[in-house]
Each structure stands twice: as C-alpha cells, then as structure tokens.
C-alpha cells in the first residue's frame, strides 16, 4: 500500500492528538494528561529544540524517565526532522561515551539522569535539560510542521549493549511512516483488533526500547490511554489496581505473574492483550498462561533490526511456535549458501519488511553482513510448517538472552580472559526459571592450583560490559572439552552449568 507523501512520521500521531484533544493520552501516576496537553508539550519542546539550534538533520540523544514530557520531547525532535538516539538506562560510562561520539549534536536529559556521569561522557557535547531548557522558557506551543525527509535517519535504536560498542539500528523516516503501529492506513483487521485491546496500556521500563515505542504508537493512534503507574511495580497486582487492558512483558515477568496467581486471588479480568516477547516461551507455560489469564496472551518474535516479525494469537493452536508472519512481513528459511529451503527444513531465518532498519549506524561492515538485497539476516535458526507457523530451533549467533536482553558470549569471554589469573574463558547459556536464560562462565586458571577470585572476575565483566552481563555462575575447570575436529566444544559444558 502506498503511503501518502502528506503524512510522514509522526504526522498521523499529531492528527490523532488533535482530533481527540479532550480524551486522555496518558495517565501519569493517577493524573490524566489529555491529548491536547500532550500536543502542547510537543510544541513547547519543539520550540526549545529550535532555540538550541536544532532542526532537520541534527542529531539528538535522549535520556529521560518514562513520562509524558519525555515522550513529547522525542516526538518534538522527530517533528523537526532530527535523528534521535535513545540512551538506555544503565549504559556503562564507556559505552555511553562511545554512543555520544558518533556525531551527536546535543543530549536531552531530565531530572532522572545522573548528570555528572552524563556530562563526563558527553565531553563538549551540549546537554539540554528537559524542563529548564525546553519546557519552562517556552510556555506557548510552537506550530508543528513535520520536516523529516523520507530517506533521513529518524531513529537509532541501540541493541542490548552486550558488546563494548553497542550497535545502533538506524531507521529512516520512510520506514517509520510505513511502520505497522504508527500508520493506521496500513492497519488490517487483525491489527485493528489488537489495537482495540489497548484501551489502557501499561507503560513502564524505558521509552528507548523499540518494542515499547511501537506498542505505545499502537495505543495512542488507536485511541487508548498509556498508563504510567506509581513505582515500584507489583505484578500482577498492577493489572487490578489500574484496570489494565494491555501490557507488554518479557517471559520471566510472565513466569512471575503465573507464580503469584497460583497462590493469590487477583482480578486480571480487564486484560485484553498481553504480549510476551524477548525470548522463547515454553509451550506448557503458554498453555498455563492461557488457562489462568484467558484468551488474551500473544507471543511475539522480532528483533531491534526488524521490529516484530511474527505473532502467535490467543486462538492459535501451535503452542510450540512463535506464530505466523505479521502483516507486511515476509519470512524465508535459507541454507548456508543463501538458498531458500522448503517447508519443514531448518535453516537461518531471513525477513523482509518495509519497517526494517536501513543499517547499523556508522558500521558498514556489520550492515553488509546483515542486510542483503532488502532482506535482513536474523541469525536465528528455525523452520516454517505447512500452516505458515514459524518454529525457532536455535541461534546462529553465540548469544544468551537474559531477561529479554541479548548478551553475546564472546565479549564476556574476552573480559574474563583479560584477567591475569585466567588462561581461557568460555560462556554458555542455559534455561533459567527466573530470567529465561542465564549466562554461565567456565574459566581455566593461568597457573595450576591458583583459583581466580570469582568476585574479581565479576567486577571485571561489570566494568567492561555492565552489571547485566555478569554471568550467573563462574566455574573453574582444568581444560575445556573438545569436539572431534579439535575445537572447543562449549555445548559439552552446558550440562555442568549451575
């Protein structure tokens, strides 16, 4: 379907806010913020960004809490045609400095930001404060004319940051205009039915997540209210307290909800769309979720590079799959020579969609490796069945998904092996009831009989990659098992992970 040149991203959002100005867009800690008020916030933020000399083609890095003002600031930057990079909370200082070195013109922060660390990482890059530099000096909203050009980069979503230099998935204004959640002209009956469940969407975590951002678009453009609750959150009690109809959560969070519901009577009857994503969901746990929560559980599969690719609906029977391709998504299974495989054969999953990334920001080598003739290599393994359901069977890349965050084994191994007491390091993933998967490290000491200090090893990984990358266990071994070809056999270590 062709998208009108008169409605580039985020014009449809602005139209939706203007058309229903008296209805709430957000409920922020029990206080309603109308769509008209959000529109005014966007205008004030746009005026502040313009006053700072920012406009089409400028690069703005954004770090804010989950607030209506934080959302308005990002949308204002898009209205002006800026390139927006979301800074995920908890980025180690080295990673933060690296991201800000990639052509960022200004950093936008709010009062939730650790300002000394941000200033240290920013160097000479100007840091704007959301309230004192944008909102307070500009009480009157500016006129909102969308200025982004189709092939300009609109958004850079950082991958998990599990390497020393997080990759930035760059999306153009063209791809966001065509995006399934932000462009109602492309909504099918299935998407409209999903959006109808987003009357009260629970918004938490971070606005810099690609999947949270697209679900927020579905809510607001579909006429719903994004509910930002008081902290700390209690699941599933938060559903009952706020009358939540839609929520996005990770597999470990769903397990937590199910564990509570086994012993506690909590009213979750308002739920209409509970989407689970981030890592594979065991079929028996999905069946339990449907039994306890009702026909409201969706399972989604996708990547930062592609957005959502497949969705398993509540009435689908293939519980061991991740669903069928979403509207506008093409999936192929290919062999090592890049040839399509027939139904039932396992190979690498390739995807094609109008809203995939244009490439990795300032990383041509990685881009060439992943993007081929409009297709994206997911580096995941799977097969399609005769009914079109996608089944995941493994990963072509050496990663562990912990709490829905991808961690590459290689950088963790390198961080451990850099310790003076370690000769070799190997990291594997194993299923975990609390985090989906957990990383387990095995180290060979540099000196026979000298056991490396586990706390020192954990501290080294945290310093290099962040606390989230620290392995759940570190086990000392005398040597690593080898495969018949003589290479280290890390799979043989998995049964010993504990």
- 384 shares a domain with 242: yes
Instruction: From residue 84, give the alpha-carbon distance in Å to each of 74, 99, 423.
Output: 7, 12, 42
User: Is 223 exposed, middle or buried, given 0-12, 13-18 or 19+ CB atoms closer than 10 A?
Assistant: middle
Query: Looking at the domain assignment, is residue 358 inside a domain?
Result: no
Query: Looking at the domain assignment, is residue 478 inside a domain?
Result: yes
pLDDT at 352 over 60: yes
Query: Looking at the domain assignment, is residue 6 inside a domain?
Result: no
Q: Torsions phi, psi of 462, nearest 5? A: -60, -40
- 317 shares a domain with 283: yes
Query: Looking at the domain assignment, is residue 360 inside a domain?
Result: no
CATH number at residue 465: 3.30.300.30
Query: Looking at the domain assignment, is residue 2 inside a domain?
Result: no
- 337 shares a domain with 387: yes
pLDDT at 81 over 80: yes
Q: What is the mean pLDDT of residues 199-219?
A: 95
Domain that holds residue 403: 399-496
Rounded distance, CA 255 to CA 258, Å? Answer: 5
Question: Residue 141: its pLDDT value, please?
Answer: 87
pLDDT at 486 over 70: no
Return the DSSP state at 194: H
Measure CA of the first residue to CA of the last residue in the chain; give whole Å. 51
Query: Looking at the domain assignment, is residue 5 inside a domain?
Result: no
- 432 shares a domain with 301: no
Query: Looking at the domain assignment, is residue 45 inside a domain?
Result: yes
Return the DSSP state at 55: -
pLDDT at 3 over 50: no
Query: Looking at the domain assignment, is residue 3 inside a domain?
Result: no
Rounded distance, CA 332 to CA 309, Å? Answer: 12
Contacts of 427 (CB under 8 A, 6+ apart): 400, 409, 412, 413, 416, 439, 440, 441, 442, 471, 490
DSSP-derived pairing of the beta strands 297-303 and 273-277: parallel
For 363, the token pair is 């990383």
Question: Residue 6: its pLDDT value, please?
Answer: 46
**Alpha helices, DSSP H, located in 21-164:** 35-51, 68-79, 93-100, 115-122
- 347 shares a domain with 317: yes
Who wins on pLDDT, 458 or 93? 458
- 168 shares a domain with 277: no
- 123 shares a domain with 69: yes
CATH number at residue 163: 3.40.50.12780
pLDDT tens-digit series, residues 221-277: 999 999 999 999 999 999 999 999 999 998 888 988 998 999 999 999 999 999 999
Closest by CA position to 285, among listed 262, 307, 266: 262
pLDDT tens-digit series, residues 133-190: 999 999 988 889 999 999 999 999 998 654 446 789 999 999 999 999 998 988 999 8
The lowest-confidence range among 20-34, 72-86, 95-109, 484-498 is: 484-498
Q: Determine contact, residues 361/102, Cβ cutoff 8 Å.
A: yes
Kindly report the average pLDDT of the chain as a whole number: 91
- 220 shares a domain with 240: yes
Instruction: Give the residue carrying structure tokens 């299974």.
Output: 333
- 162 shares a domain with 205: no
The lowest-confidence range among 34-38, 140-144, 177-181, 360-364 is: 140-144
pLDDT band for 325, please (50, 70, 90 cuts): very high
pLDDT at 4 over 50: no
Domain count along the chain: 3
- 243 shares a domain with 382: yes
Contacts of 362 (CB under 8 A, 6+ apart): 102, 103, 168
Question: Residue 179: its pLDDT value, please?
Answer: 93
Give the rounded percent of residues in the chain with a pLDDT score beyond 70: 96
pLDDT band for 2, please (50, 70, 90 cuts): very low
Rounded distance, CA 154 to CA 175, Å? Answer: 9
Q: What is the mean pLDDT of residues 96-117?
A: 91
pLDDT band for 84, please (50, 70, 90 cuts): very high
Closest by CA position to 220, among listed 72, 110, 79: 72
pLDDT band for 484, please (50, 70, 90 cuts): low
pLDDT band for 130, please (50, 70, 90 cuts): very high
pLDDT band for 279, please (50, 70, 90 cuts): confident
Question: Residue 1: its pLDDT value, please?
Answer: 37
For 282, other C-beta atoms within 10 Å of its C-beta total: 15
pLDDT tens-digit series, residues 374-428: 999 999 989 999 999 999 886 667 788 898 888 888 889 889 988 999 988 999 9
- 417 shares a domain with 389: no
Q: What is the pTM of this model?
A: 0.84
**Domain end point (choices 185, 216, 237):** 185
- 175 shares a domain with 198: no
């Amino acid at each position: 379907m062709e998208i009108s040149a008169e409605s580039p991203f985020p014009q449809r959002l602005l139209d939706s806010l203007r058309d229903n100005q008296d209805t709430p867009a957000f409920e922020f800690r029990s206080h309603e913020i109308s769509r008209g008020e959000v529109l005014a916030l966007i205008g004030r933020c746009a005026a502040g960004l313009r006053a700072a000399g920012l406009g089409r083609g400028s690069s703005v890095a954004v770090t804010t809490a989950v607030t209506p003002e934080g959302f308005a600031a990002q949308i204002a930057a898009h209205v002006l045609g800026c390139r927006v990079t979301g800074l995920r909370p908890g980025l180690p200082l080295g990673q933060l400095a690296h991201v800000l070195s990639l052509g960022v013109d200004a950093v936008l922060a709010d009062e939730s930001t650790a300002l000394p660390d941000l200033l240290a990482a920013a160097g000479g890059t100007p840091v704007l404060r959301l309230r004192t530099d944008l909102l307070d000096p500009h009480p009157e909203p500016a006129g909102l004319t969308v200025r982004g050009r189709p092939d300009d980069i609109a958004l850079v979503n950082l991958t998990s940051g599990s390497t020393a230099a997080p990759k930035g998935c760059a999306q153009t204004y063209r791809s966001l205009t065509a995006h399934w959640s932000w462009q109602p002209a492309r909504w099918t009956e299935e998407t409209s039915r999903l959006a109808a469940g987003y009357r009260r969407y629970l918004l938490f975590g971070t606005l810099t997540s690609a999947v949270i951002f697209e679900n927020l678009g579905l809510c607001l453009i579909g006429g719903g209210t994004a509910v930002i609750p008081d902290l700390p959150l209690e699941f599933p009690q938060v559903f009952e307290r706020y009358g939540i109809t839609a929520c996005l959560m990770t597999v470990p969070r769903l397990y937590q909800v199910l564990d509570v519901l086994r012993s506690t009577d909590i009213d979750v009857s308002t739920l209409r769309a509970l989407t689970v994503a981030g890592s594979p969901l065991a079929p028996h746990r999905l069946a339990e979720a449907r039994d306890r929560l009702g026909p409201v559980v969706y399972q989604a599969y996708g990547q930062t590079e592609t957005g959502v690719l497949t969705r398993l609906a509540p009435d689908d029977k293939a519980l061991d799959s991740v669903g069928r391709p979403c509207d506008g998504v093409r999936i192929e299974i290919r062999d090592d020579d890049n040839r399509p495989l027939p139904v039932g054969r396992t190979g690498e999953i390739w995807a094609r969609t109008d809203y995939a990334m244009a490439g990795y920001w300032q990383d041509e080598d990685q881009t060439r490796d992943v993007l081929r003739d409009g297709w994206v290599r997911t580096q995941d393994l799977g097969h399609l069945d005769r009914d079109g359901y996608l089944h995941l069977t493994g990963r072509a890349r050496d990663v562990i998904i912990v709490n829905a965050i991808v961690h590459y084994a290689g950088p963790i191994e390198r961080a451990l092996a850099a310790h003076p007491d370690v000769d070799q390091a190997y990291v594997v993933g194993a299923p975990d009831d609390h985090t989906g998967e957990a990383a387990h490290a095995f180290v060979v000491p540099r000196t026979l009989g000298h056991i490396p200090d586990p706390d020192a090893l954990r501290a080294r990984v945290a310093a290099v990659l962040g606390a989230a990358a620290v392995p759940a266990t570190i086990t000392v071994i005398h040597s690593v098992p080898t495969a018949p070809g003589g290479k280290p056999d890390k799979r043989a270590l998995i049964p010993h992970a504990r």
